[in-house]
Amino acid sequence: MADVFVSYARSDEPQAKRIAEALRAEGYQAWRDDELPAHRAYADVIEERLRSAKAVVVLWSAEAAKSQWVRAEADAARSAGTLVQANLDGTIPPMPFNQIQCADLKDWNGKDDASGWHKLLASVEALAGPHETETSLPRASLQRVSVCVLPFANMSGDAEQEYFSDGISEDITTDLSKVSALEVIARNTAFQFKGESLDVCDVAKKLGVTHVLEGSVRKAANRVRITAQLIDGLSGGHVWADRYDRDLTDIFAIQDEISKAIVDALKIKLLPQEKKAIQTRGTSNVEAYNVYLMARQLWISGFYGDIRNIEAIARIARQAVTLDPNYADAWALMALAQAELRFWLGLDHDALPAAERALELNPDLPEALCVKARYLESEGRDGEAVRQVERALSLNPDSWEVNREAARLMYREGRTVDSIPFFEKAMSLMSSDFHSGGMLIACYTHAGDLEARQRVATPTLQRAEAALAKDPTNGAALAAGVAALLILGEKDRARGWIDRAVMIDSENVSMFYNIGCAYIILADDVDGALDMFEKFFERVRGTTLFKHLRSDPDLDRLREHPRFKKMLAAAEARVRVEDPTATAAT
């Protein structure tokens, strides 16, 4: 992995190239996005490079300050303590980066005697260590210890118990990520190997990690058996292995013991705050934890717009907080589900009490802040909504929910291009997220980036197919798959998926909306789009969708069509009676 990650706006590429070459000349392995491999998703590679870099050099300019990509990368580096800033044109970096020292490279001509270059190089050296010389140790011997936690196999003999083994894998990943001396591969990157027969050394080589953790979970009645083994990625030998056969009530102690054993085996010293962070759990109630994992698995399964599924999530999360009223994560999950029911589906659910309870228990819970942002946006307080989401991103830039909400908020504000890095990040964080892929297809279409649109269509279709393999009635997956199939030239198959979707999920308003958009922007079929929007307008209740209608560029060709205007006016009149807070869509 590279020592230095270089972040920049596309218009600043010549300067970025010169700076990266100068860093290489100093002996550093400098990486910028001209080296993206053709076979991997953009966001996945960016995520891994950011995590592995010892220093992240952010090149600020007027264009970079406006770029959500650059700001997101700078924020990730700031959180990791690897940020180095340089200014290319005198532009003051945006908040909060304007509070951090910045090397002046305005008019820098590449000479190594410039004061701004010396300042940047000194910061890089402080973070990444002295550059290589003939007497330096080989770079491999300086490699940072890194781990990939593969999804633990479900050995319970019941596929429905998979939520539990996945939850254990995620929690161990989260625990190890709290150790500053340890690089941990993102959950989604690890979960791409789920269910595969693996050569651990091949996995380590592909991901560039030193170690791989694999294991299994067997849960039956009130007993749990967990096996885990830490494997050297180069030799394939076992560094550590153990088996835990305990009562289910010991599950938290087992997780703590596994994390501590890995740290000890790797000879890493925990800081006091890191030890405390690993031992901190959202609940001490095992039954509440089990129920929460069940709701969480449903939440990430991708049944967007499916009332029954979202109501089930809210109901199961409520059971978790009944078992433990102080379980902040469960309150936040309940609020997220209730917000979907209220704002997208127009049902009489108030998510604000659950979100406020979550924040009362944990004021820094980013997912609950996203729910508050939804309410602020619905009241026309868009600036405050944006600030809530920005705070949520600063608290956890790797939260799938937060990145998804940031992307959707920007899209509804008409900032289609700005939403792209957050949809990309959301897709990289959750292997089941086909919805963000569908949104990226729309974003890249309107940005005119047909190559990126083609790139994202394949994983979107694969994820939709995986969701449908689990449940053939998933209308949201069918809708996302339709868009991907049209991009990939499979028009007959797309038509079949549309017929199937209309037949099996006739109350999913988001599905009709998304298929209508696919008809107009990908198939150039106005009549087909209008047929879908007729079904959408007959069922729509949520007020957020009307704001989405106003800003969505997918609908630009339909706005002046008499049939569309008539359907829209009728739906608006009905929704205003049902919900006086709804606003006009045009």
Q: What are phi and psi of 3, to 5 degrees?
A: -70, -40
- Contact by Cβ (8 Å): 100, 78: yes
Read off the tokens for 141. Answer: 């011997």
- Tell me: the pLDDT tens digits for 284-311? 899 999 999 999 988 887 777 678 888 9
Determine the Cα–Cα distance for residues 460 and 494; give it in Å rounded to an integer: 14
Please tell me the predicted confidence (pLDDT) of residue 570: 87
- Contact by Cβ (8 Å): 315, 186: no
- Contact by Cβ (8 Å): 142, 129: yes
pTM: 0.69
Q: Where are the beta strands (DSSP E) in 288-431?
A: none
3-state helix, strand and coil shares in percent for the chain, rounded to the nearest 5: 60, 10, 30
Read off the tokens for 356. Answer: 């406020």
- Contact by Cβ (8 Å): 545, 579: no
List of domains in the chain: 4-137 (3.40.50.10140), 146-281 (3.40.50.10070), 293-502 (1.25.40.10)
Max Cα separation, the chain?
78
Please tell me the predicted confidence (pLDDT) of residue 584: 43
| Torsion angle, alpha carbons of 219, 173, 439, 415, to 10 | 140
Residues near 580 by beta carbon (within 8 Å), at least 6 away in sequence: none
Among 93, 68, 80, smallest CA distance to 422 is for 68
Please tell me the predicted confidence (pLDDT) of residue 43: 66
Written as tens digits, the pLDDT of the chain (586 aa) is: 458 888 888 888 888 888 888 888 878 888 877 655 555 555 667 777 787 788 899 999 888 888 878 888 888 888 777 888 988 887 778 767 766 778 888 878 777 667 788 788 878 887 877 654 433 333 333 346 889 999 999 888 777 788 888 888 988 988 888 887 888 887 777 887 887 777 888 888 888 889 999 999 998 878 899 999 999 988 888 899 999 999 888 888 888 889 888 988 888 877 777 777 777 778 889 999 999 999 998 888 777 767 888 899 999 999 999 999 999 999 999 999 999 888 777 677 899 999 999 999 999 899 999 999 989 988 888 889 989 998 998 888 888 889 998 898 888 888 888 889 889 888 888 888 899 999 999 999 988 888 889 999 999 999 999 889 888 888 889 999 999 999 999 999 999 999 999 898 888 888 898 899 998 888 888 999 999 999 988 887 755 566 677 778 888 889 899 999 999 888 888 877 766 554 444 3
Among 151, 234, 154, 153, smallest CA distance to 200 is for 234
- Contact by Cβ (8 Å): 377, 343: no
DSSP state for residue 107 in the 8-state scheme: T
Residues near 101 by beta carbon (within 8 Å), at least 6 away in sequence: 85, 119
Please tell me the predicted confidence (pLDDT) of residue 140: 35
Please tell me the predicted confidence (pLDDT) of residue 243: 92
- Contact by Cβ (8 Å): 154, 207: no
Determine the Cα–Cα distance for residues 65 and 42; give it in Å rounded to an integer: 21
Amino acid making up residue 305: G
Please tell me the predicted confidence (pLDDT) of residue 37: 52
Cα radius of gyration (the chain): 25
